[in-house]
Amino acid sequence: MTDLTGQTVLITGASRGIGAEAARVFAEAGANVALVARSADSIADIAGEIGKNAVAIPCDISRYWEVAQAVENCVTAFGGLNILINNAGVIEPIARMEEADPEGWGQAIDINLKGVFHGMRAALPVMQSDGGGTILTVSSGAAHNPVEAWSHYCASKAGAAMLTRSLHQEMADKGIRAMGLSPGTVATQMQKEIKASGINSVSKLDWSDHIPADWPAKALLWMCSGDADAYLGEELSLRDEGIRKKVGLV
């Protein structure tokens, strides 16, 4: 396992699913963990479960000033910020474009796309002052292929994937390691929302087709090691058996 003793990670969308599992996995690897989400009670419970090396920071990532404050609170708690995991994302409202609610569509963009930029923008000055850092963004196959009734999700994930590439282009020579992770379908609350919609082939998948949330969490941890440096600026896919083998997943 990658040893992150003395390192600090801030994870958005840490109240459930991949984010919650990442908090546990990174804490087990020795990292200080800042859990960020709108669900204050949930992240407080997880931080309490992890112990003194975790703090819960309620935050709406669609608002830049809240993200900037969350980063400041993280630095106050642990003295710095070495790793940012842009994980927060929403799939609702699932709807075909001719029926989509413009306000709900825009809110998804605010969280899935602008939220990623907000995290990057707030973290970069802190990381630069410390000589560098790692910024990982949870992507999706939907970033590269259209999915019926997911125009908001596909567009926002495609934009977030380009933010990772842009960050690498601009900041790689300044010590910033930027990568994306496409986990595939994961057994989380989001998949329950997808299944409930009954729209498109993804909603028809059997629950056993989804990977457990700790798989992408372990992949994110591995991406913080030098073993992943060959993939800087790129997006890794857990559908790739070679990547799974490198991470140690079976």
Distance CA 59, CA 42 (A): 12
pLDDT for residue 58: 97
Cβ-proximal residues to 74 (8 Å cutoff; 6+ apart), any chain: 8, 10, 34, 55, 57, 81
Closest CA to 160 of 184, 181, 136, 139: 139
Give the CATH number of domain 8-245; options: 3.40.50.970, 2.40.30.10, 3.40.50.720, 2.40.110.20: 3.40.50.720
Q: Tell me the C-alpha to C-alpha distance, in Å, between residue 190 and each of 44, 125, 155.
A: 21, 32, 17
Cβ-proximal residues to 106 (8 Å cutoff; 6+ apart), any chain: none
Distance CA 4, CA 15 (A): 21
Q: Where are the alpha helices (DSSP H) in 51-179?
A: 64-78, 102-109, 115-129, 151-171
Which residues are annotated as catalytic? 153
Query: What residue segments make up the domains of the chain, in order of their start?
Result: 8-245
pLDDT for residue 72: 98
Ranges of residues in the chain with a pLDDT under 70 are: 185-191, 201, 204-209, 211
Q: In what order do the strands lie in the sheet with 54-58?
A: 54-58, 32-37, 8-12, 83-86, 133-138, 176-182, 235-237
User: Degrees (nearest 5) of the Cα angle 39, 8, 126?
Assistant: 95
Distance CA 1, CA 218 (A): 9
Distance CA 59, CA 43 (A): 11
pLDDT for residue 213: 76
Distance CA 18, CA 41 (A): 17
> What is the reported pTM?
0.93
**Would you call 111 exposed, middle or buried from its count of C-beta atoms within 10 A (0-12, 13-18, 19+)?**
buried
Half-sphere exposure of 242 (CA within 13 A, CB side): 3
Cβ–Cβ < 8 Å for 83, 9? yes
Partners of residue 36 on adjacent β-strands: 12, 57
DSSP 37: E
